[in-house]
Amino acid sequence: MGTQELIERLNEALGWELRAMNMYAHYAATIQGIHRLQLDPMFNEEATESLAHADTVRRAIVKLGGIPVTERNPHPIVHATDYTVMLERSLETETKAAEVYAGIIKLLDEVGDQEMYDSIEQIYFAELRSLENLRLILA
Protein backbone atom coordinates (compact mmCIF):
# COMPACT_ATOMS: atom_id res chain seq x y z
CA MET A 1 0.00 0.00 0.00
CA GLY A 2 1.40 3.38 -0.96
CA THR A 3 1.47 6.24 1.51
CA GLN A 4 0.74 8.33 -1.56
CA GLU A 5 -2.64 6.69 -2.02
CA LEU A 6 -3.50 7.28 1.64
CA ILE A 7 -2.53 10.96 1.36
CA GLU A 8 -4.72 11.29 -1.73
CA ARG A 9 -7.72 9.74 0.00
CA LEU A 10 -7.20 11.91 3.08
CA ASN A 11 -7.04 14.94 0.81
CA GLU A 12 -10.30 13.85 -0.78
CA ALA A 13 -11.84 13.70 2.71
CA LEU A 14 -10.38 17.13 3.52
CA GLY A 15 -11.96 18.59 0.38
CA TRP A 16 -15.35 17.24 1.47
CA GLU A 17 -14.92 18.64 4.99
CA LEU A 18 -14.05 22.08 3.62
CA ARG A 19 -17.16 21.89 1.47
CA ALA A 20 -19.31 20.69 4.41
CA MET A 21 -18.13 23.64 6.52
CA ASN A 22 -19.33 26.07 3.85
CA MET A 23 -22.57 24.26 3.16
CA TYR A 24 -23.65 23.94 6.81
CA ALA A 25 -22.64 27.51 7.65
CA HIS A 26 -24.68 28.68 4.66
CA TYR A 27 -27.75 26.70 5.70
CA ALA A 28 -27.45 27.81 9.35
CA ALA A 29 -27.38 31.46 8.31
CA THR A 30 -30.10 31.30 5.67
CA ILE A 31 -32.76 28.99 7.10
CA GLN A 32 -36.04 30.77 7.79
CA GLY A 33 -39.35 29.93 9.39
CA ILE A 34 -40.18 27.94 12.51
CA HIS A 35 -37.57 25.25 11.72
CA ARG A 36 -34.85 27.84 12.20
CA LEU A 37 -35.27 27.27 15.94
CA GLN A 38 -33.83 23.75 15.64
CA LEU A 39 -31.96 23.71 12.37
CA ASP A 40 -29.83 26.83 12.84
CA PRO A 41 -28.14 25.20 15.89
CA MET A 42 -27.95 21.80 14.19
CA PHE A 43 -26.36 23.14 10.99
CA ASN A 44 -24.04 25.30 13.06
CA GLU A 45 -22.92 22.27 15.05
CA GLU A 46 -22.23 20.36 11.84
CA ALA A 47 -20.19 23.28 10.49
CA THR A 48 -18.10 23.34 13.68
CA GLU A 49 -17.68 19.55 13.56
CA SER A 50 -16.48 19.76 9.95
CA LEU A 51 -13.93 22.37 10.99
CA ALA A 52 -12.60 19.98 13.67
CA HIS A 53 -12.60 17.03 11.25
CA ALA A 54 -10.72 19.09 8.67
CA ASP A 55 -8.10 19.93 11.30
CA THR A 56 -7.56 16.27 12.24
CA VAL A 57 -7.34 15.15 8.60
CA ARG A 58 -5.00 18.01 7.69
CA ARG A 59 -2.61 17.05 10.50
CA ALA A 60 -2.70 13.40 9.46
CA ILE A 61 -1.73 14.41 5.91
CA VAL A 62 1.18 16.50 7.21
CA LYS A 63 2.29 13.61 9.46
CA LEU A 64 2.42 11.39 6.39
CA GLY A 65 4.56 13.93 4.57
CA GLY A 66 1.82 15.21 2.29
CA ILE A 67 0.49 18.67 1.46
CA PRO A 68 -3.12 19.28 2.53
CA VAL A 69 -5.47 20.67 -0.12
CA THR A 70 -6.70 24.22 0.39
CA GLU A 71 -9.70 24.10 -1.96
CA ARG A 72 -13.03 22.52 -1.16
CA ASN A 73 -14.53 19.66 -3.13
CA PRO A 74 -16.23 21.29 -6.15
CA HIS A 75 -19.54 19.44 -5.75
CA PRO A 76 -22.12 22.28 -5.87
CA ILE A 77 -23.53 23.74 -2.66
CA VAL A 78 -27.17 24.24 -3.47
CA HIS A 79 -28.85 27.30 -2.02
CA ALA A 80 -32.37 26.43 -0.86
CA THR A 81 -35.30 28.08 0.85
CA ASP A 82 -37.03 24.75 1.55
CA TYR A 83 -35.60 23.13 4.69
CA THR A 84 -36.28 19.66 3.26
CA VAL A 85 -33.88 20.38 0.40
CA MET A 86 -31.27 21.51 2.95
CA LEU A 87 -31.71 18.26 4.87
CA GLU A 88 -31.53 16.15 1.71
CA ARG A 89 -28.30 17.90 0.73
CA SER A 90 -26.99 17.31 4.23
CA LEU A 91 -27.82 13.61 3.98
CA GLU A 92 -26.05 13.45 0.63
CA THR A 93 -22.97 15.11 2.15
CA GLU A 94 -22.84 12.80 5.17
CA THR A 95 -23.31 9.74 2.98
CA LYS A 96 -20.38 10.82 0.83
CA ALA A 97 -18.23 11.56 3.90
CA ALA A 98 -18.98 8.17 5.47
CA GLU A 99 -18.08 6.47 2.17
CA VAL A 100 -14.74 8.29 1.90
CA TYR A 101 -13.78 7.60 5.52
CA ALA A 102 -14.76 3.92 5.23
CA GLY A 103 -12.20 3.62 2.43
CA ILE A 104 -9.53 5.44 4.44
CA ILE A 105 -10.06 3.20 7.48
CA LYS A 106 -9.29 0.17 5.31
CA LEU A 107 -6.04 1.73 4.09
CA LEU A 108 -5.07 2.84 7.59
CA ASP A 109 -5.49 -0.68 8.89
CA GLU A 110 -2.40 -1.63 6.91
CA VAL A 111 -0.32 1.37 7.99
CA GLY A 112 -0.12 0.47 11.68
CA ASP A 113 -0.35 4.01 13.09
CA GLN A 114 -2.82 3.37 15.91
CA GLU A 115 -3.24 7.02 16.88
CA MET A 116 -4.08 8.01 13.32
CA TYR A 117 -6.37 5.02 12.91
CA ASP A 118 -8.29 5.92 16.08
CA SER A 119 -8.66 9.61 15.23
CA ILE A 120 -9.95 8.85 11.73
CA GLU A 121 -12.22 6.12 13.05
CA GLN A 122 -13.77 8.64 15.45
CA ILE A 123 -14.51 10.92 12.52
CA TYR A 124 -16.00 8.00 10.60
CA PHE A 125 -18.33 7.19 13.54
CA ALA A 126 -19.37 10.85 13.79
CA GLU A 127 -20.31 10.82 10.08
CA LEU A 128 -22.35 7.66 10.61
CA ARG A 129 -24.19 9.27 13.54
CA SER A 130 -25.00 12.39 11.50
CA LEU A 131 -26.12 10.22 8.60
CA GLU A 132 -28.47 8.17 10.79
CA ASN A 133 -29.81 11.31 12.47
CA LEU A 134 -30.60 12.92 9.10
CA ARG A 135 -32.17 9.71 7.84
CA LEU A 136 -34.54 9.72 10.83
CA ILE A 137 -35.35 13.43 10.48
CA LEU A 138 -36.26 12.86 6.83
CA ALA A 139 -38.21 9.62 7.52
Residues that bind Fe ion (CB under 5 A): 50, 53, 94, 97, 127, 130
Least Cβ distance, residue 124 to Fe ion (angstroms): 9
Q: How far apart are CA 46 and CA 50, in angstroms?
A: 6
Q: How far apart are CA 122 and CA 134, in angstroms?
A: 18
Least Cβ distance, residue 129 to Fe ion (angstroms): 9
Which one, 1 or 59, has the nearer CB to Fe ion?
59
Q: How far apart are CA 62 and CA 46, in angstroms?
A: 24
Least Cβ distance, residue 32 to Fe ion (angstroms): 23
Alpha helices in 36-82 (DSSP H): 36-63
Angle at alpha carbon of residue 61, lines to 58 and 65, rounded to 5°? 140
Which one, 107 or 127, has the nearer CB to Fe ion?
127
Least Cβ distance, residue 7 to Fe ion (angstroms): 18
Which one, 86 or 94, has the nearer CB to Fe ion?
94
- Count of CA atoms in the C-beta half-sphere (13 A) of 137: 19
Which one, 6 or 13, has the nearer CB to Fe ion?
13
